[in-house]
Amino acid sequence: MGMVQNPVLPGCYPDPSICRVGEDYYLVNSTFEYFPGLPIFHSTDLVHWTQIGHVITRADQLDYSGIASSGGLYAPTIRYHDGLYWLVCTMVYPDQPDRPGNFLMTATDPAGPWSDPIWLGTAGIDPSIFFDDDGRIWFHGTRLALEPQWHDQTEVWVREYDPVAQRLVGDETVIWRGAQLGVVWAEGPHLYKVDGRYYLMTAEAGTEIHHCVCIMRADSVTGPYEGNRANPVMTHRHLGREVDVVGAGHADLVQAADGSWWAVLLAMRIYGGYHYPLGRETFLVPVTWQDGWPVFAPGVGRIPAAVEVPFADDTPLGVTQGAIGGPVLPGDPCWNSLRGPADFATADGDAWRLRPTTDTLSDIGQPAFLGIRQQHRCADFSATFSPALADQQEAGLVIRQGERDHVRLAISPSADGYTVTAVHRQAGVEHHLGQVSLTAGSVRLAVSARGRDYTLTCIGADGAQQVVGHADASTLDTIATGGFLGLWLGIYAHDGGRPGEGSVRVDKVEYLPVPDSEG
């Protein structure tokens, strides 16, 4: 029997969707503007997860242009049917609603490669797909209600998909408008068939503290659906803002090979007040069935801190459970760029070589940025820079929330060597946090996260460590800034308006989790 600590995937891994094929489980998450998009994880026991690839790996699969932070890829669903892995998702262009949104991709191997998208021409978000026993395929999703009874009421609709014609066919049926009067954002729908009945599961009430999971059932895939009188079947909203985990919702069900049932869902660990800098993470909850309805975390009624999985081995997971820990090499799949492939970066052994770009971290473009998710409240992220920069150019570390909100620890040339400057861009306005001068040579930069406090330091050629500044995580999370993202820790380079000049070698990149008393 194995024991797994929640979350099973720490850091910004929201909107989890899961499927089982034989003894293997596959899980996918939203990635918004980050590239590659939609990471695929594999497990044989729901406890030990390994990233095996991404769905979006080619520049010509999707057009990320013009997508600001927290736009992009929302709420994928992964399923397996008839020898193929199927994935449906939404590409959200917040300022360009006329661009296509919902699409479908397939692969013979979940690690990829995945096909080009089949665009389905439907409005709304959070699509899902269901394969019925009679061979029919049903596409479903959520959108703002066409005839709303209240503000932000949404509705879940279903329509048949023809895999030969590769389009939706037949009539569309609205099957749900919310489990409660006045509820907003009934989203993340998934259909299942259990013991001859159809079940519709949704997330409701928005993605913050009031998030929840609701379940409905019907005798036909198109309804009518009756709601469970126990709805919501999973939520933490009644626990208030002082609880350790908030926002439980957006779940997907899976039946294990031994017949047991489980749910993956998102939630957020708060610290430093009502803040969650790590973003929405993936949690695991046991499920049983009683009187024809699923019961989440039976006898407990909330996400447990630890889950016993009977068919998992007892290998200790430690502080790096579901996360990176130690050197982060160029080939690691945890690296992300923004809005497209990292053409500005090349692997140089165990190091990166960055070509500075004109786009900055404040632009909705493709800056020379490579980052990894922050996955622990307490962690050290560091890298050694060997820059060959021209005047006005800079390179360094960044704590990234988005274009308008991030913290840079920047190296720039000076007459005697380098200047290292800490800058907090907050709501689009830059604030100077500190500055030190260094002689020429390699520079090691570090961000030390201890709860809400980030200490920004540098070590120059003389080996002396200097504190450049401090930043507060509670000013960088989505409660403070808006959007849907946790924090990324990364490296970057900017050409200062001198394209084609400068280069930066970045080596000894490390992410080291540090145990803390809060977990």
Q: What is the dihedral of CA 106, 191, 135, 138, to 10 degrees?
A: -70
Farthest-apart Cα atoms in the chain, separation: 77
Q: Please tell me the distance from the alpha carbon of residue 320 to that of residue 379, in angstroms, as a whole number.
A: 11
Active site residue 187: yes
The contacts of residue 398 (CB under 8 Å, 6+ apart) are: 361, 369, 371, 406, 407, 408, 409, 488, 489, 490, 491, 492
Active site residue 15: yes
The two tokens of residue 136 are: 């029919």
**If we measure between CA atoms, which residue out of 48, 32, 38 comes closest to residue 320?**
48
- Catalytic one of 15, 126, 252, 477: 15
- Catalytic one of 187, 204, 252, 477: 187
The two tokens of residue 421 are: 């400057």
Q: Element (H or E) spanning 479, and its range?
A: helix 478-481
Secondary structure of 70-111 as H, E, C letters: CCEEEEEEEEEECCEEEEEEEEECCCCCCCCCEEEEEECCCC
Give 255's Cβ-side CA count (13 Å radius). 9
User: In whole angstroms, how far apart are CA 143 and each of 101, 154, 428?
Assistant: 12, 5, 31
Active site residues: 15, 187
